[in-house]
Amino acid sequence: MIQNGLGRLLRPFVRLSRLPSRFAAMERSVRRMETSHREHRREIQQALAQLMLPAESVWRRQPPLLDASVPGERVFEQSAMCRQDSFQQPYFSYWTRRLGERLRYHRKLWEFVFVSQALWERGVCARGRRGLGFGVGREPLAALFASEGVAVTATDLAPDGVVEAGWQATNQHAGGKEALRNSVVCPDDLFDRNVEFRFCDMNHVAADLVGYDFCWSACALEHLGSIEKGLAFIERSINCLVPGGWAVHTTEYNVSSDKETVDNLGTVLFRRRDLEALAQRLRAKGHEVATMDWSPGEGPVDRYLDMPPYRPDPHLKMMLSGFTTTSIGIIVRRGLGT
């Protein structure tokens, strides 16, 4: 009887002693479920990608490189979104050649062409002008503008900031002027004469970076830590310009939602509401903001949604953190009286 009573008293302690092994079993079960979930997610993504991918005749070795000897006229009177039909125009082939790129349906190429064409048609991509590039990485734009006689100040994050931001292994960071040299785009003598390089944190732009006819960034400001920091950078970049100077920036745009988005992370997704609020802020300060063309495009490549691991082609829209995103270009002119 005493033994039975003691057994009843000890029973809860026996159960407690088994808890660590039970927790360990639960953790193993959770890990198996997570592994299974990742595997199923990858399988679903691959299946969807194959189902959604347009016929190869639509995108492989397409669009054709057209014979174009001059840029377009009044192409980007409005700010715009990356779309398939842009790639099929003569001006796009012109800038693709000038940039030393291969014509393909890729949104990064669209960003380079958008910046080039927008600045060229506003008359500032010319000899005697001064241009300021932010977060330039290894892009060809600094060399392109230098080839036109523009005095270019190219900037990128200092090496210690690169490690903190996680850019060390991406091969997209410019550690100095030599990383921007591109003899296909700009002869070395012109490059040496017209390009200077400085380190610059886009969240803390140096006060002496002023007096430029134009400035640009290509898909850099979404990596500044938050949506608000990205918008604040655009405002700050305008202070680098002479009155009447132009700022042209491209960034990540959330196509699928104007409410939920990604914020306060390494890559953020700007919504329509964010960019419209920015336009109001800038206009209130006396600046001109080009009206946005919000059309996402209706071509088969526009409708294709690329998923990780991302394809080299076609790649106009992609899935990122559960949202559909693409590139968008913003054009701002500093007010003449500011």
What is the full DSSP assignment across 92-147? HHHHHHHTTPPP-SBHHHHHHHHHHHHHHTTT-SSTT-EEEEES-TT-SHHHHHHH
Give, in order, the Cα–Cα distances in Å from 269 to each of 98, 117, 119, 142, 221. Answer: 30, 24, 25, 26, 10
Tokens of 287: 């600046």
Dihedral of CA 111/235/318/307: which sign? positive
**Tokens in use for 319?**
């899935």
Q: Which two tokens stand for residue 283?
A: 């206009």
Looking up tokens 């196509």, which residue turns up? Answer: 255
- Contact between 141 and 216 under an 8 Å Cβ cutoff? The reply is yes
What pLDDT score does 317 carry? 95
Strand bridging mode 151-156 / 195-199: parallel
Residue 87: which of 77, 75, 79, 78 has the closest Cα? 75
pLDDT at 159 over 50: yes
Task: List, in sequence order, every residue forming a beta bridge with 252; answer none if it has no partner.
Answer: 327
* Pairing of the two strands 323-333 and 241-254: antiparallel
pTM: 0.85
Distance, first Cα to last Cα, the chain:
95
- Give the pLDDT band of residue 167 (cuts 50, 70, 90): very low
Alpha helices in the chain (DSSP H): 2-52, 56-59, 84-87, 90-98, 107-120, 141-147, 159-165, 188-194, 227-238, 272-284, 300-303
In this predicted model, what pLDDT tens digit does every residue of 292-315 receive, in sequence order? 999 999 999 999 999 888 999 999
Query: Looking at this protein, which amino acid is placed at residue 303?
Result: R
| pLDDT digit string, tens, across residues 216-264 | 999 999 999 999 999 999 999 999 999 999 999 999 999 999 999 999 9
Question: Given pLDDT bands bounded at 50, 70 and 90, which one contains residue 37?
Answer: confident
Report the DSSP pairing between strands 317-320 and 212-218: unpaired
Domains in the chain and their CATH numbers?
A: 76-333 (3.40.50.150)
